[in-house]
């Protein structure tokens, strides 16, 4: 599994082949490829390349998946006893990138995507149509070790009249 530390927008991100990374918004269209050439570190198993400051000849290729907005952050400032109140908000815009390839240009490697390793989800079991037991019946079954007798309500006609 290859991974790299990449710089984009003045921030550093850990990029792993086949993973998704959110970076500050890039002016690229969805579906286009992006080459991140500011690679500070690259690791491949036991092999490690540390840049001073950059690793030469290594680049990270990614595909733009979508542009999203982060959560809203509110800032509120006030001065007591002076009727000064300022409230403002901010939402940061991000670009989601799918890391396709890490390495030297022209090098052939198959990307191991994390989604390919996972097995497809198993279908959920259908709910049974049986009536569920009440908690009292469950506890009595546990304590005595046998099922409770079926309860039958006598009909009014069966009841003895005086």
How many other C-beta atoms are found inside a 10 Å radius of the C-beta of residue 118? 8
Q: β-strand 20-24 against 84-103: which pairing, if any?
A: antiparallel
Residue with tokens 């007798």: 149
Provide CB contacts within 8 A for 29, sequence distance 6+. Answer: 64
One pLDDT digit (tens) per residue for the chain, 162 residues: 889 999 999 999 999 999 999 999 999 999 999 999 899 999 988 888 898 889 888 889 999 999 999 999 999 999 999 999 999 999 999 999 999 999 888 777 655 555 455 555 566 555 555 555 666 666 666 666 666 566 666 666 655 555
Alpha-carbon span 28 to 96, nearest angstrom: 11
Alpha-carbon span 81 to 69, nearest angstrom: 37
Closest listed residue to residue 49, CA positions, set 5, 8, 109: 5
Residue 125 pLDDT: 57
């Amino acid at each position: 599994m290859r991974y790299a530390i990449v710089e984009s927008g003045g921030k550093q991100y850990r990029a792993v082949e086949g993973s998704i990374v959110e970076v500050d918004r890039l002016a690229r269209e969805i579906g286009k490829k992006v080459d991140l050439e500011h690679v500070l570190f690259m690791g491949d198993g036991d092999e490690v390349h540390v840049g001073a400051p950059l690793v030469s000849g290594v680049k990270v290729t990614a595909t733009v998946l979508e542009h999203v907005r982060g959560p809203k952050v509110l800032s509120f400032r006030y001065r007591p006893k002076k009727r000064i109140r300022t409230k403002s908000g901010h939402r940061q815009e991000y670009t989601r990138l799918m890391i396709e390839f890490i390495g030297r240009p022209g090098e052939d490697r198959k990307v191991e995507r994390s989604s390919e390793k996972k097995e497809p989800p198993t279908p959920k079991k259908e709910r049974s149509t049986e009536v569920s037991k009440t908690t009292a019946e469950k506890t009595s079954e546990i304590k005595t070790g046998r099922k409770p007798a079926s309860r039958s309500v006598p009909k009014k006609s069966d009841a003895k009249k005086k």
